[in-house]
Amino acid sequence: MFTKFVGQFATQGLPPNVETDGNGYPDIEKTIINGRHLMEHRQFTEALRVLIKAVNMCPCHPHGAAPSRHPKDKSCHISQFLKALENPNLDILYEVAQAPCPCGYIWPSCTRPQHAVALDALAECLDKAGQHVSAFSTALSIVRLDPTSAVGYCRAALMIKGVFKKPSEADANPATPALLSILLGPATNPPYHMKLRRLLVRFLDRALNTTMRHRRNPKGKYDVILQRMAYILKLDVGKRDPGRMLPPELLHMVFSHLSVSDLIQCLRVNKQWNRTIVSNALLWSDLTLTRPRNPGRSFGAFLQRHQYHIRAFTIQDTAHFQMTYKKLRTLLYALPQLQRLSLDCRNTKAEAFYAGLDPTGDITLIKDPPIRARVSCLSLASVPAPQVLRDLVRLSSETLQVLEVAHCQTQVDGAFESLLLPKLKKLRIVGLWKNSPQVSRTSGTDIELVRIARATPNLEELFLDGLVLTCPGGQASSNMPSWPSLWRLVLGRSAAMPRFFPPRPISHLYLPLWASKLRSLELLTTDEVLAYIALSSKPPDTLILPDENEILPPSALAYEIRHHQHLTNLEVFRCASFLSPEILRRVLGPAATRGTLQVLELTASRFSSNSDFTSSMFGMDTSADLNPVKDLPYLRPDKIHTLGLRSFNYHQDQSRTSSAFDGQPFLDWIMRFPNLHTVAVYPGQWADVDILLAQVILHPGVKVIHQDSLTGVAWDKARQLAEQEGVDLRHSPGYMPVAWDGAEVGEEPTKKKSSQAQQVSAMGNRPEKKGISFAPGE
């Protein structure tokens, strides 16, 4: 089989992966093909003449000058190589090939692939013609021609193997004893098999080491033949592990990019890879169950082996894996080093989750040992009932620092009753699917944040979306719970207030926070009432509680902001609702004066919100658009690095029926900021917006642009211009993405920064690190 493989290759001529040099020499290739054609018809004399002509056609020979030749007796040339094989030095063939012959002849050197292939065809022709010694000498001359190429080694090894394969033909062909005498010495007696095998093993070992260490060109078919010969002879060099040539750190890095299926296959390669993969705790630190069936029998042994390595565990569908509360508790007990747990309960029913418990359903009656896991980050999706959410959170209530509850259509606040999460720092709650059309003031998940504030007194970051904020029943009091440490608040576009609320809503009943301590305030909600609620929230001990029958003016919230609110620590401020210049001065002025404000995104047009409702509710004038150049003169240009503006058009004809667009004031505004590098441009669907974006791309400092106006040909042209200018132009629907836990919500994670303002500005600078997915059946 091996001989057939080599024979098929030997008749193919120049391998397709052998590249020619810049000039290309098709005449040499055609001549070699003609010579091989003559060999097939056993016209060896004519074939030798043609192939010698092909060798002499190489440009390494001086034009018109005959190349110098070695004397007819080439025994010195062959013996030099055979003696070198006795040397244990793996690079000995490379050194001998570059040294002159013992007779003083200096062999030519050429790195052109055609030259080596022409000599290989000549050696093959000599071998078929019965001139084995000359053929072997020609094969070694190829090694001297280019010691980094596998062509000469391959031909010489094939000839040694041919003599070793059929030694009985030595008596029939008088040329074969001569080659045997040269290879093994004249005093060698039969049997020749073991001696020829040792010679072939030494030659292949030196040849493969030389080509792998000094190879200039990519691995070709000649290298494959050498490698396969060593493999058939069961040599260690034929089973060469490429991982041995890499430092352990690089090998671990390569394995870290493989999926768990690929890692399981790599475990079967050899013992070294198995030890390397099994011993690397980082490879198994992030585990994901993905396939919709129960884990196989090896899953328990797998967890037992890596129970001290697994740091993050994800189950994409708990129903498919029949995950119950009791199984989950046992799993957490078996993983003492687990820090991150993610569960998707989209198809799980509450009855199935509590299967196997006491008929009373009281989970406190479980006799399992205490849990040793210290989960600090818990992510839950589509939890079917408040009791399930409460019991899952209770499993790690003492160590939990980050909690994400997504796509829940149940009363989330009810799950926090009788709970205390003293170490919880980050909380993200999404009521329905993001951007769901069902979310409005009359639908969505109702939530009372006061009940959650009672269970999370040390909360620092809060993200809400798809929720309808309600207030508790009864009379408000000054000792209500709040979040005095909260420094970041994000209200998504689907967060809203209920349809009906008191004439003077008390802000603290809906958002129990201290707005004056906020460093990052992102009001992306389209509900302008909720935006004003967030801006006017105050500590409970400073509340002026109205009498039950007292009727106050509807502009009370705006009055609170104008006269009593001081947001002096703001680093990030984003608002999707229209705010008048007077309110903006009160909100942004203190932070701008102190120089802490770094990220700013505003809405300029009255069309962006319900202006009639806002005017009646807060007693404010929304007839004029916001002109940032004129209305925001107090901003410090040297501190702000991210700017955004929504719903703006400064054309004289501002009617809704007109499509004329003027964005020059926006360009004048961003030109005032020397350190600007990120811009969010959301003017709306107007004509000539592409011209505005082209001018923003040409801004000397801008590196990242977020927009959603360009489509089709305009998008292609803008992308081409951005690539030329080195600008990252992104299509971010709706608004600039929100960074959460070092990652954009709904986007790929980004590199964590030292401050929240840097997180918002550096969107998408680092690709997502993929966790390992464990296929349960593997």
pLDDT per residue over 269-321, tens digit each? 888 888 888 888 778 788 877 765 545 566 677 777 778 888 888 888 888 87
More confident residue, 688 or 264: 688
**Cβ-Cβ contacts under 8 Å for 301 (sequence gap 6 or more):** none
Mean pLDDT of all residues in 70-89: 82
Among residues of the chain, what percentage have pLDDT more than 70?
A: 73
Would you state the pLDDT for residue 489? Answer: 93
739-740/467-469 β-pairing: unpaired
pLDDT at 448 over 70: yes
Among residues of the chain, what percentage have pLDDT more than 90?
A: 17
**Cβ-Cβ contacts under 8 Å for 675 (sequence gap 6 or more):** 637, 638, 639, 640, 641, 701
Would you state the pLDDT for residue 506? Answer: 63
Q: Which overall architecture, per CATH, does domain 245-280 show? A: Up-down Bundle (1.20)
Region label for 647, one of left (φ > 0), alpha (ψ between -120 and 50) or beta (otherwise): left
Rounded Cα–Cα distance for residues 522 and 440 (Å):
19
Residue 266 is encoded by which pair of tokens? 């790599």
pLDDT at 356 over 70: no
Would you state the pLDDT for residue 26? Answer: 63
Mean pLDDT of all residues in 380-397: 86
Rounded Cα–Cα distance for residues 636 and 591 (Å):
10
Q: What is the per-residue pLDDT across 683-701, written as a single tens digit (0 to 9) for each? A: 988 888 999 999 999 998 9
Would you state the pLDDT for residue 722? Answer: 94
476: confidence class by pLDDT, cuts 50, 70, 90: low
pLDDT at 682 over 90: yes
* CA angle centred on 566, ends 562 and 568, rounded to 5°: 140
Rounded Cα–Cα distance for residues 446 and 469 (Å):
6
pLDDT at 323 over 80: yes
Residue 272 is encoded by which pair of tokens? 């070294």
CA-closest candidate to residue 336, choices 282, 373, 284, 283: 373
When mean pLDDT is compared across 69-83, 220-234, 468-482, 703-717, the lowest value belongs to 468-482
739-740/743-744 β-pairing: antiparallel
Query: How remote is the C-alpha of 660 from its chain's centroid?
Result: 42
Across the chain, what does the average pLDDT equal?
Answer: 76
Residue 661 φ/ψ, nearest 5 degrees: -135, 140
pLDDT at 391 over 80: yes
Mean pLDDT of all residues in 169-195: 65
Mean pLDDT of all residues in 215-233: 82
12: confidence class by pLDDT, cuts 50, 70, 90: very low
Q: Where are the domains of the chain?
A: 2-10+25-59+73-240, 245-280
pLDDT at 481 over 90: no
Would you state the pLDDT for residue 373? Answer: 59
pLDDT at 383 over 90: no
Residue 546 is encoded by which pair of tokens? 């109205």
Q: What is the per-residue pLDDT across 505-564, written as a single tens digit (0 to 9) for each? A: 566 677 887 777 889 999 998 888 888 888 877 665 554 444 444 444 444 555 455 554
Mean pLDDT of all residues in 253-257: 86
Mean pLDDT of all residues in 452-456: 91
Residue 447's H or E segment, with its range, is strand 445-447
Do 484 and 459 touch, CB atoms closer than 8 A? Answer: no
Which CATH superfamily is 2-10+25-59+73-240 part of?
Tetratricopeptide repeat domain (1.25.40.10)
365: confidence class by pLDDT, cuts 50, 70, 90: very low
772-774/340-344 β-pairing: unpaired
286-289/772-774 β-pairing: parallel
Q: What is the per-residue pLDDT across 718-772, written as a single tens digit (0 to 9) for each? A: 999 999 999 999 999 888 888 765 444 433 333 333 343 433 333 333 333 333 3
Indicate the residue type of 248.
P
Residue 376 is encoded by which pair of tokens? 């600090």
Q: What is the per-residue pLDDT across 27-62, written as a single tens digit (0 to 9) for each? A: 888 889 999 899 888 898 899 999 988 888 887 765
Would you state the pLDDT for residue 523? Answer: 92
Q: What is the per-residue pLDDT across 622-670, written as a single tens digit (0 to 9) for each? A: 557 888 999 999 998 898 999 999 999 888 765 555 678 888 999 999 9
pLDDT at 385 over 80: yes
Residue whose tokens read 């260490």: 213
Would you state the pLDDT for residue 558? Answer: 55
Would you state the pLDDT for residue 18? Answer: 35
Indicate the residue type of 267.
L
Partner residues linked to 718 by β-bridges: none
pLDDT at 589 over 80: yes
Positive or negative, the Cα torsion across 570, 576, 577, 578?
Answer: positive
